[in-house]
Structure 1
Amino acid sequence: MAASSTATAILAALVVCLTGAVTTVDAGFAAMQWTPAHATFYGDETASETMGGACGYGNLYASGYGTDTAALSTTLFRDGYGCGTCYQMRCAGTAACYRGSPVITVTATNLCPPNWALDSNAGGWGNPPRAHFDLSKPAFMKMADWHAGIVPVMYRRVPCVRSGGLRFALQGNAYWLLAYVMNVAGAGDVGDMWVKGGGAGGWVRMSHNWGASYQAFAQLGGQALSFKVTSYTTGQTVLAAGVTPPSWCLGLTYQANVNFS
């Protein structure tokens, strides 16, 4: 099933379960220092071109991210481990900046791919080692005149503020479970993940598939599923027990009542 179909299912079927939380690190994620970079935008005012994207969040309205989003350059995207991270930024040092340099907050939902045919200062914005943000047009227009095309910015990574628990959008088949992890608070990212059925089996370590998705080659149908999720940045681990009922279905999204701090 396509990622956009899965994300749309959030509105139709969001199952909330009773869970317990276990963390290996007590301290939450703290904001980092301000750093210079540049920002562009893609798409138009409707942000329709930002839907989907390399993280696999599908319809960003349905998955809760809206239009305050960014595609990250290769260095920041980190092969998908940058998905879900949050950044504050403000336009700086150009006449295109709005008065007062308003600060915006965006979530990473896509990749700004490298263009090896161009120099990183002349169109190859996604080329390593450049830190660059390709924003949705609505987000860009909150801090600068869009006619500028590209503007210098100051940015910093910040904690992600989310309402409710972690969300798991499930795809796959009877022998392969693919889970997209969304609505991640704290550092916003996922670096490792495990799944456990309600039967006699133990924890199955899931491998990183692409973007914000993790996979397990196991037969888990008819079992209530629990997940352990570890942050890529902080190493903090959250245990979400009994996230799904035994009758869980592919194509639906299930929500825990635990999240990162």
Structure 2
Amino acid sequence: MEYTILFATSLTIAMLTAAGFSPAHGWNKGTATFYGGADASGTMGGACGYGNLYTAGYGTNTAALSSVLFNDGWSCGQCYLIMCDAAATPQWCRAGTAVTITATNLCPPNWALPSNNGGWCNPPRPHFDMAEPAWLQIGIYKAGIIPVLYQQVKCWRQGGIRFTMGGFNFFELVLVSNVAGSGSVRSVSVKGGSTGWITLNRNWGANWQCNSGLVGQTLSFAVTSTGGQTLYIYNVVPSWWMFGMTFTSNQQFSY
């Protein structure tokens, strides 16, 4: 039901903008290009650290954000509803369509090119370099770049929050992924079987760092979303964990 309402709302706004009306409250103007190929294989990895976006649950509805939106990685995992601005370029838009993408990468500035001619991700431009399959849902391929209307929206995920254990010895690098609600994480703490709660520091993207000896201990996590919800996820990582393993919880954010 919520998806139906969302699509109907975006369709209504698209028709209004096509008729020359200003976008509704909460919508912002930006631009969008595409990358990664028809199967989005070129979007794997990225500055958020999610790795294989297919197996990570993000699929092909993803985008690299310009630095003003990426916010040094704090926006990793956030979801944005995007539509082509038909009032500006009706010939390059797929009328009445919208797509929700997840932020998985950074589109870095290109200082060798002007912001209005190739340097699309230069500050202060809000720009989405979208996976090609996602972009083609709203734009005509020949256009290359289109003006868009966008807003951050709630993320929906299948299953619970995931924790991937990286690092080595006394250095743990925990990737927190498949986050619903606000999609992004404000803070993370870990508790071993023989420790108290230890606050992690964000290292890069969606990776959180701990410098304690946790190998051989069952691990629990306290995760706070940027929406302000905190979840205590107990014993999600068993004592036999090894670096490189991913563990999925049965808990998920609602906002």
Q: What are the residue-to-residue correspondences of 1:36-75 with 2, within 5 Å?
A: 36-75=29-68
Whether 1:224 and 2:221 are equivalent positions in the alignment is no
Q: What are the residue-to-residue correspondences of 1:57-136 with 2, within 5 Å?
A: 57-92=50-85, 93-94=88-89, 95-100=91-96, 102-136=97-131
The root-mean-square deviation of aligned C-alpha atoms, in Å, is 1.1
Identity of aligned residues (%): 53
1:79 Cα shift? 0.6
How many residue pairs are counted as aligned between the two chains?
227
TM (norm. structure 2) is 0.86
Secondary structure of the residue aligned to 1:77 is helix
Q: What are the residue-to-residue correspondences of 1:24-35 with 2, within 5 Å?
A: 33-35=26-28
- Unpaired runs of 5+ residues, structure 2, are 1-24
Q: What code does the residue aligned with 2:177 have?
A: M
Q: What code does the residue aligned with 1:209 have?
A: N
Q: Relative contact order: is structure 1 or structure 2 higher (C-alpha 8 Å, sep ≥ 6)? A: 1
Q: What are the residue-to-residue correspondences of 1:142-153 with 2, within 5 Å?
A: 142-153=137-148
Q: Deviation digits for residues 100-138 of structure 1, max 9, x if unmatched?
A: 2x0101000000001122222122121222111000111
1:206 Cα shift? 0.7
Whether 1:188 and 2:183 are equivalent positions in the alignment is yes
* Higher helix content, 1 or 2: 2
Whether 1:172 and 2:162 are equivalent positions in the alignment is no
Secondary structure of the residue aligned to 2:94 is coil
Q: Deviation digits for residues 60-86 of structure 1, max 9, x if unmatched?
A: 101010100000000110111110000
1:174 Cα shift? 1.7
Tell me, in whole angstroms, the C-alpha distance in 2 between the residues paired with 1:161 and 1:33: 20
- Unpaired runs of 5+ residues, structure 1, are 1-31
